[in-house]
Amino acid sequence: MAKLASAFVSRLVIIIPYAWLLFFFLIPFFIVFRISLSQTAVAMPPYMPVFDLAGGLSGIAQKLREFSLDNYVWLTEDALYFNAYVSSVVIAAISTFLTLLIGYPIAYGMAKAPRSLRPTLLMMVILPFWTSFLIRVYAWIAILKPEGLLNQFLSTLGLIDQPLIILNTNWAIYIGIVYSYLPFMVLPIYSALEKMDLSLTEAAQDLGCTPAAAFWRVTFPLSLPGVVAGCLLVFIPAVGEFVIPDLLGGSETLMIGKTLWSEFNSNRDWPVSSAVAIILLMILVIPIVYFQNIQAKADGEGR
């Protein structure tokens, strides 16, 4: 009996977080989906009869008939939304590539650092991640402004006559994303490189590879799992990013996270913002599932 009870208690370890995530993570998506199919007038805040089963079966049938794809039709008809999706994906892809370009040498340098120095370097990469995202994005406004610190610095050096216009352009968004997500790129690449057997590169060089060839043919392919994980960790959240385009991008910058936010907060159109969220999720579902598989595989290897 005691054994049975304790088996039940250990089962709770699964049941409690499982139930929590089902209720607060999975079910909400169905609600979003349900509302995205409803008419604007019906679903106006603050009240929506989502779990209204009082009408019984005929009530449910009635509800089903009320479902409409109007919001999705509306989204496809308005070029604004389509452009916002496309430009979010493009901006996120460019930023991810830039983050990789900057992050890889940092991770590589860290992995090559003397062993005693590595924990400190690792902590220094993680530390900015703990400081507020909002603050780090905010810090760039003062730097990138036309009269900001970067332009002051460059004109003191005599490199520019006219201030560079960076704030409120896509370049500011790239800088913001690269800066904010850099640790997410560096950490997985670093851990892939650190685990690597260094004798492999040495062997390649002994067999006549130039250092560059040894890097591209041995080191880089072996670090690829880290590169892929890093790119996904940057790309997926960047597509739906709100704070960076809102604070650093200009008014004409189109990103879907910003569109969703303003649709929700300014226009108070819940069904349309739900539809925007559902389409965004459909775009991201493939990279997200891919990311989950990588994570699950990494657990399997760690065992």
Partner 1 sequence: MEKWSRFNIASVVLGFGFLYLPIVLLVIFSFNESKLVTVWAGFSTKWYGQLWQNQSLLDAAWVTIRVALLSATCATVLGTMAALALVRYTRFRGRVLFSGMVYAPLVMPEVITGLSLLLLFVAIGFDRGFWTITLAHITFTMCFVAVVVQSRLLSFDQSIEEAALDLGATPVRTFFAITLPVIAPAVFSGWILAFTLSLDDLVIASFTTGPGATTLPMKIYSQVRLGVTPEINAICTILIGVVALGVIVASIVTRRREAQREKDERAAFAAIG
Q: Which 190-229 positions form the footprint of partner 1 (CB under 8 A)?
A: 198, 201-202
Site map 52..91 versus partner 1, x via CB under 8 A: ----------------------------------------
114 vs 158, beta carbon nearer partner 1: 114
Query: Closest distance between partner 1 and the C-beta of residue 10, in Å?
Result: 4
Output DSSP code: residue 58. H
Residues 104-123 that bind partner 1 (CB under 8 A): 105-106, 108-110, 112-114, 119, 121, 123
CA distance 14 to 197: 37
Which string of x and - marks every residue 2-31 that binds partner 1 (by CB under 8 A)?
A: x---xx-xx-xxx-xxx-xxx-xxxxxx-x
Considering only residues 137 to 196 of the shown chain, the ones binding partner 1 according to CB under 8 A are 138-143, 145, 147-149, 152, 179, 182-183, 186
Report the sign of the C-alpha dihedral through residues 127, 129, 131, 135, in that order: positive
The CB-of-56 to partner 1 minimum distance in angstroms stands at 19
- Reduce the secondary structure of 141-164 to three states and give it as a string: HHHHCCCCHHHHHHHHCCCCCCCC
Binding mask of the shown chain, residues 237 to 256, with x at each position contacting partner 1 by CB under 8 A: x-xxxxx---x---------
Q: Could you write out the DSSP letters of every residue in 207-244?
A: TT--HHHHIIIIIHHHHHHHHHHHHHHHHHHHHT--HH
Single-letter residue type at 278: I
The single residue among 127, 160, 203, 213 that binds partner 1, judged by CB under 8 A, is: 127
Q: CA-to-CA distance for 288 and 123, rounded, in angstroms?
A: 27
Is residue 34 a contact partner of residue 51, using CB atoms and an 8 Å limit? no
